[in-house]
Structure formats: C-alpha cells, structure tokens
Amino acid sequence: MLKEKIEAALNDQLNFEFYSAYIYLSMSAYFESIDLKGCSQWMKAQTQEEMLHAMKFFDFIAERGGRVMLKQIDSPETQWESPLKAFENALHHEGIVTEKINHLMDLAQQEKDHATQIFLQWFISEQVEEEASVNAVVQRLKLAGDNPGPLFMLDRDLSARVFTMPASGSDPT
C-alpha cells in the first residue's frame, strides 16, 4: 500500500510525464511547420516514450493500491526561434525531469518505501540516457551553425529514430 505522501508525489510525476509528452508533440508540430521532418519524427518518438513513462507511473500507482489522479495539462510552447533553441529547451526540460525523479527517490528513501525506490531506479538510469540523447543533438546543431547542409543531413539522420515498445520483462514494470 502506498503512503499518502508517496502516492501524491507519484501522481505529480505521472502528470508531469504527460506534460513532457505534450511538449515534445508541440515540438514535433513546430518542426513539421518548418519542414524538418526528421526532427519532427525524432520528437514524435520522444512523445511516445514519455507516454510510456507516464503509463509506467499509472500502472505502478494502481499496482500498489493507490489512486491515479489525472490533472489538467498546461499548454506547451509552440514556437522556437530555431531548431537549436527547441532542442536546447528539450535538454533543459530533461534536466527538470531528472531533478523531479531524484526528489522522488529522496522521498521514497525518507519514507522507507523500498518498492518505490526499486521502481524509480529504472527512471534514474533512463534520465541519464535521455539527457545524453538530447545533448548529442544539441551539440550537432551547434556544429552545424547556420549552415543548411549540415542541418539537412542531421534532419535526415534524426528521421531514423523510431519508438520501439520495450519487450515485456525488460524493465521492472
């Protein structure tokens, strides 16, 4: 059974994961509008990944006898001054997600909730990957600068990203 404090914090994170998906879907729409289909595809895959994260929280809360509480999702930004600024915004957002996951782990440790600690361990590892993935694109966009050739090559490369549902049993949920 989840303690009230843990349940509330997990619900906050579940809703933040849905917000994250909303942000990345908005970025996908932005990239579509400037004809960077590869960047758009990358963000669509990121949207699906964030939805998966939200559903992991949903399932964990329910499995532990808690009550899932869905909240209103704020509107995300819809316009960025450049592809680099959009990906820098994504990197900043992933930093916030990392902080929130770390705070959840701190709370689970304080509350001596070992099951939640084990559950959150996957997200801690995932956030290292998330930040590295977005940072790699940021660094490549910085190298490209204002040169359209490298930007279009990067866009082509990013179009290869496809969301793949993890095999069952490959993670703790």
**Looking at the predicted structure, is the pLDDT value of residue 70 above 90?**
yes
Going from the C-alpha of 3 to that of each of 8, 57, 107, 131, 169, the distances in angstroms are 9, 15, 11, 30, 26
Q: Considering just the CA atoms, what is the radius of gyration of the chain in Å?
A: 17
- pLDDT at res. 163: 82
pLDDT in tens, 73-86: 999 999 999 999 99
Residues in the chain: 173
- pLDDT at res. 173: 47
**Looking at the predicted structure, is the pLDDT value of residue 135 above 80?**
yes
Whether the Cβ atoms of residue 1 and residue 64 lie closer than 8 Å to each other: yes
Task: Report the interhelical angle of 37-63 vs 148-158 (nearest 10°).
Answer: 40
Domain ranges of the chain: 4-158
Mean pLDDT in the chain? 95
**Looking at the predicted structure, is the pLDDT value of residue 12 above 70?**
yes
- pLDDT at res. 168: 61
Alpha carbon distance 50, 86 (integer Å):
17
Going from the C-alpha of 162 to that of each of 15, 125, 131, 140, the distances in angstroms are 24, 20, 18, 19
**Looking at the predicted structure, is the pLDDT value of residue 170 above 80?**
no
pLDDT in tens, 141-168: 999 998 999 999 999 999 998 888 877 6
Residue 53 CB partners (closer than 8 Å, separation 6+): 17, 20, 123, 126
Question: Counting runs of H as helices and runs of E as strands, what totals does the chain give?
Answer: 5, 0
Q: Note the CATH number of domain 4-158.
A: 1.20.1260.10
Q: % helix / strand / coil in the chain, to the nearest 5?
A: 75, 0, 25
